Every structure is written in C-alpha cells, then in structure tokens.
Amino acid sequence: MRECEVWLDEHDGALTGVLILRLMEDGLFLESIGTAPQTAGTGRGRLLLEATFARARELGLDRVELITNSLNPALAWYQRQGFTIDHEDIAPDRVVVHMSADVPEAGTGMRDIGVVQ
C-alpha cells in the first residue's frame, strides 16, 4: 500500500466512505471507492469521486483510470460521471472493463468535502 493513499469520508461523526488511490508514474488510478449502505443515493460516492479529481489536479495529472467488470452495478454510474471505456478484456465469467476520465478543471462543480486522509 506504499504507493496508495487511503481516504476516509466522515459525515456527522460516522464513516460513510473509503477511497483508495494509487499514484502511478503517468496518472492516478482509482483502486477502490465505496460508501456505506445507509448512504446510498445521498451523493457521498459523487463527493468521493470529486475528491479523486481534486487530488489528481493537486498532482498535476489530467486523467484518472480504473478497472471494473461487466457485472459491477457501478459501471453505468462511472459512465454517468464521465468515465469512458478504453478497452475490455474477455474473461470466462465476465468482461474486465478498463476505464478513464479527464480531470475536470477546478470550479466546474467540484466542492470541498469532509474527507480525512
């Protein structure tokens, strides 16, 4: 985990999400993003994704990458958040989906959140 940053999202004193970012030579890789079940539909996931883009800007990076699979219900959510499919690898029981997104400029809907690093 030396190459990773782990961010915790807290709201009203409770842990509501976790974000794991891997710093790579040529970009920022979104290893994992997750929210507590009781926060479903509250926008906490979007806030964590905004924190990802903010961190990429701090590092002077212009793209964020991730890998998911065709069975992940979040696949469509990633696409709604601006991620596009770069390529797919066919596996016996699923399709591995490689995605990336341009980092939006600051001030384009990004806002500060209560993320503890």
Measure the CA–CA gap between 88 and 7, rounded to whole angstroms: 28
Q: Per the domain annotation, does 75 fall within a domain?
A: yes
Q: Per the domain annotation, does 112 fall within a domain?
A: no
Mind listing the pLDDT tens digit for each residue in 37-47?
998 888 899 99
- Cβ contacts of 94 within 8 Å, gap of 6 or more: 69, 70, 71
Average pLDDT, the chain: 88
Residue 30 has a pLDDT of 97
Q: Per the domain annotation, does 93 fall within a domain?
A: yes
Region 7-34: mean pLDDT is 92
Residue 41 has a pLDDT of 87
Mind listing the pLDDT tens digit for each residue in 54-97?
999 999 999 999 999 999 989 999 999 999 999 999 988 889 99
Q: Are 100 and 64 in contact (CB under 8 A)?
A: yes
Sheet holding 115-116, edge to edge: 84-90, 95-102, 63-69, 27-35, 14-24, 4-11, 115-116
Domain containing residue 89? 4-105
Residue 54 has a pLDDT of 95
Q: Specify the CATH number for the domain of residue 11.
A: 3.40.630.30
